[in-house]
């Protein structure tokens, strides 16, 4: 499952599909306009009517279809807070309809991680919550909504990425907990999704010594074959998280990472957004060499090929179906209005200034418009805030060192009423309002709840994000 750079299908992808390439993954860097994306997807489907054409469309903060404007879906953490499984299924159905309209038949979603660590730098609002049973029931609802509408789903990041404080895009995280805790927490949503018939499971590039102290889950036969296949009884496709991530290939390189993943039990290799024709050939050569050396059996390769072939046959490109009702801005805004500090801030008749602080983008999400800005709310720099205005200070990742706290104190010292808004997973209790997401849909609800002015959204172009 390679990605590629550019807005049109490169020749080497066409040659690969003609030669039996199982899957192609699209990223934000492949998108310029909706019409261009439609042409790109149509060309891929023309080259291979049976391939698995995929992307990361989680809804919420991680979006590829709406990379230029932000997602119209609220996202997992918001859905988990609402706790209406019918709404969660409807959100997935709407995403499936969009994918089907483009001829895409596989979605690398949802995240089934229990976000037990508030300091998690890469999961956070991509999780339905911090309680295993809640995450399990919403994971099942999302999977069933997506797959009933004709698109294969993917629960990730097995065996669970929620209790980490490192980002596997940049390093190899480690979960130091015992097997009993893993059984009672991390594995609960995956068990439920497998019982509900999820089509695929994505591996994580994390070290879990209680299961295998020798290497990350993506390379672990104990985790993929013995636990996932054996104990949990999963019969579908095991797909790797992107092998260009440091947690997988930082020490061994992508070709060797591909070989190790196949040996461990993976069936489909996600190579990453910047796959070149040279790298693609290097991966094929490394797999062939591993077979010649006896490290990798032909039986294992045939097993992987047969599983991916069955998956593609089970989810052919289809016509969009009907979907239920996803929570609209007004329903989400109801929860925002319940913030303890919100009524007094709203009652203040002072004019409003909205300051949104940018921070380093999440590697999985990329540079997607977010928060109030994505909803078209006019934003001010701190220096542009007029005297006497009340300030909505919007940020995400508000840890103790975040500059928002000093800025809020500066505004308050100058006599401005300030509402500090966390558009992510809360790191502490100081924020006045927590939205548990930053998608365009959440930004629209925020604007509605706080009576913020709205102009036409500016959008943004560029970036790419990474699978997983």
Percent of the chain with pLDDT over 70: 92
Q: What is the DSSP letter of 331?
A: H
Instruction: Write down the catalytic residue from 161, 169, 205, 427.
Output: 169
Among 377, 353, 347, 356, residue whose Cα is nearest residue 447: 377
β-pairing verdict for 237-239 and 352-356: unpaired
Are 96 and 44 spatial neighbours (Cβ–Cβ below 8 Å)?
Answer: no
* CA 22/CA 26 separation, integer angstroms: 14
- Cα-Cα-Cα-Cα torsion 57, 61, 62, 66, nearest 10 degrees, comes to 60
Per DSSP, the three-state class of 203 is strand
Is residue 453 exposed (0-12), middle (13-18) or buried (19+ Cβ within 10 Å)? Answer: exposed
Distances (CA, A) of 134 to 107, 138, 148: 22, 6, 21
Q: Quick one: angle between helices 11-18 and 34-47, nearest 10? A: 40
The verdict on domain 11-314 having CATH code 3.20.20.300 is yes
pLDDT averaged over the chain?
90
3-state secondary structure 265-277: CCCECCCECCCCH
Domain spans, the chain: 11-314, 329-449
Element (DSSP H or E) covering residue 107:
strand 106-107
Structure tokens at 193: 């999704």
Element (DSSP H or E) covering residue 354:
strand 352-356
**Known active-site residue 169:** yes
Position 461 scores a pLDDT of: 34
- Please give the average per-residue pLDDT across 57-64, as a whole number: 91
pLDDT tens per residue across span 250-262: 789 999 999 999 9
Instruction: Write down the catalytic residue from 107, 241, 244, 432.
Output: 241
**Known active-site residue 61:** no
Structure tokens at 322: 């009907």
Q: Evaluate if pTM is beyond 0.85.
A: no
- Please give the average per-residue pLDDT across 414-426, as a whole number: 93
pLDDT tier, 324 (very low <50, low <70, confident <90, very high otherwise): low
User: Token match 């007004």: residue?
Assistant: 330
Q: Tell me the CA end-to-end span of the chain in Å, nearest whole number.
A: 13
């Amino acid at each position: 499952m390679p990605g590629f750079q550019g807005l049109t299908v490169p020749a080497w992808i066409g040659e690969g599909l003609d030669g039996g390439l199982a899957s192609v993954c699209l990223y934000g860097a492949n998108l310029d306009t909706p019409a261009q994306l439609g042409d790109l997807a149509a060309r891929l489907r023309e080259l291979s009517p049976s391939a698995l054409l995929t992307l990361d469309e989680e809804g919420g903060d991680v979006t590829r279809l709406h990379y230029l404007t932000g997602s119209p879906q609220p996202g997992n953490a918001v859905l988990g807070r609402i706790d209406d499984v019918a709404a969660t299924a409807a959100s997935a159905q709407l995403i499936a309809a969009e994918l089907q309209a483009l001829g895409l038949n596989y979605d690398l979603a949802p995240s089934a991680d229990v976000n037990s660590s508030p300091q998690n730098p890469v999961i956070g609002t991509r999780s339905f919550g911090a309680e295993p049973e809640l995450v399990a029931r919403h994971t099942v609802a999302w999977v069933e909504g997506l797959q009933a509408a004709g698109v294969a789903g993917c629960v990730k990041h097995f065996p669970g990425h929620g209790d980490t404080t490192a980002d596997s895009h940049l390093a190899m995280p480690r979960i130091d907990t015992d097997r009993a805790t893993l059984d009672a927490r991390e594995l609960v949503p995956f068990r439920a999704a497998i019982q509900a018939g999820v089509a695929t499971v994505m591996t994580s590039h994390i070290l879990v010594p209680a299961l295998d102290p020798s290497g990350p889950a993506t390379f672990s036969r104990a985790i993929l074959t013995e636990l996932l296949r054996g104990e949990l009884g999963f019969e579908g496709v095991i797909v790797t998280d992107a092998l260009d991530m440091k947690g997988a290939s930082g020490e061994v390189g992508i070709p060797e990472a591909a070989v190790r993943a196949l040996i461990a039990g993976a069936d489909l290799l996600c190579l990453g957004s910047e796959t070149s024709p040279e790298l693609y050939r290097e991966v094929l050569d490394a797999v062939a060499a591993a077979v010649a050396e006896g490290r990798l059996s032909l039986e294992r390769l045939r097993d992987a090929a047969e599983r991916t072939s069955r998956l593609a046959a089970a989810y052919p490109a289809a016509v969009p179906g009907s979907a239920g009702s996803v929570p609209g801005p007004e329903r989400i805004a109801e929860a925002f209005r319940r913030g303890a500090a919100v009524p007094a801030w709203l009652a203040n008749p002072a004019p409003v200034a909205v300051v949104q602080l940018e921070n380093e983008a999440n590697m999985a999400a990329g540079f997607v418009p977010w928060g109030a800005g994505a909803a078209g709310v006019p934003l001010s720099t701190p220096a542009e805030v007029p005297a006497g205005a009340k300030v909505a200070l919007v940020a995400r990742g508000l840890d103790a060192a975040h500059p928002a706290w000093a800025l809020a104190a500066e505004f308050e010292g100058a006599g401005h009423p300030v509402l500090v808004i966390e558009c992510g997973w809360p790191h502490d209790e100081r924020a006045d309002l927590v939205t548990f997401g930053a998608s365009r849909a959440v930004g629209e609800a925020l604007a509605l709840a706080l009576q913020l002015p709205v102009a036409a959204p500016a959008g943004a172009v560029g970036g790419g994000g990474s699978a997983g």
